Amino acid sequence: MKLLILVSFFTVCTLSLLAQKTEYSVHAQTGLFHFGGKSAEKSSFINSSYTNNPYGTGSSFSYAFYFQVQRITKKNTIWGLQSGYELLASRIKIDEVYIDDMIFKSDGHTSLRNQFILVHPYAGHRFNFGIPLDISVGPDLGIGLKSMEKGTVPDFNLQIKNERDIPAVDARIRINATAYHKSMGFTVGYSYGTINYQANMIGAEPETYSRFLRIGLSYKLPF
């Protein structure tokens, strides 16, 4: 948490020193969130009341809302800071259910919904191809709030709901592109997680990392 505060403070100070033009905007995004790494799977099973491995390579509905401030220098260099809330959900197929030491074939799924407060300092450049196009890169620092596993198997009228561990900070590398038409912008980005969500598990040394292909809209505030 202290590191996040220092990063945010340093970014704001840098923006003030290098500023030529200031832009404020709000962003709404969705996209495809899933897990990568050697332990992320397409399918798993439910053992009584929990999913054996909820870290799926499939995607469920995700959304995010951010506030952004950025400065553009005379040479079109960009320095910015984005902060907000995001709910990122993955999905894994459930093909078996273990009940009373018996194994049953099934057709269900589990989603893992992860909530974060995001801090995203970045740097980039504004190009002009008839319309402004901002290309930027920087760290995504997701402060973990809560992770909830929700599983459904209709064949057995089975529903499960469990809280899972979430990293204190999910550190990701993010590249982003935003094209503008007047005050409206269209954003495409990709966040590549570097933090192992299963680092606290002992024995098998599992590895699962967040991946998020994001798309969305932005609106420049008339400040």
Q: Which of 199, 107, 211, 90 is nearest to 150 (CA)?
A: 90
Q: Which of 95, 120, 92 is nearest to 45 (CA)?
A: 95
What separation, in Å, do the N-terminal and C-terminal C-alpha atoms of the chain show? 30
pLDDT value at 171 more than 90: yes
- Mention every residue, 6+ apart, whose C-beta is less than 8 A from residue 160: 46, 49, 50, 51, 110, 149, 150, 151
Identify the weakest region by mean pLDDT among 48-57, 118-127, 142-151, 197-206.
197-206
Helical residues (DSSP H) of 1-75, grouped into ranges:
2-18
Longest Cα–Cα distance of the chain, Å, equals 69
Q: Which pLDDT does position 42 carry in this prediction?
A: 97
Per-residue pLDDT tens for 25-74? 999 999 999 999 999 999 999 998 899 999 999 999 999 999 999 999 99
Output 185 or 4, whichever has higher pLDDT.
185
Q: 139 forms bridges with which residues in the sheet?
A: 173
Q: Which of 129, 18, 32, 144 is nearest to 81 (CA)?
A: 18
Q: Which pLDDT does position 20 carry in this prediction?
A: 81
Output 217 or 10, whichever has higher pLDDT.
217
Q: How many Å apart are CA 207 and CA 209, to the nearest integer? A: 7
The one-letter code for the residue type at 180 is Y
pLDDT value at 222 more than 50: yes
Give the pLDDT mean for 196-202.
88
Q: Which of 80, 86, 187 is nearest to 145 (CA)?
A: 86
Helices (H) and strands (E) in the chain, counts: 1, 12
**Domains and their CATH numbers in the chain:** 20-221 (2.40.160)
pLDDT value at 96 more than 90: yes
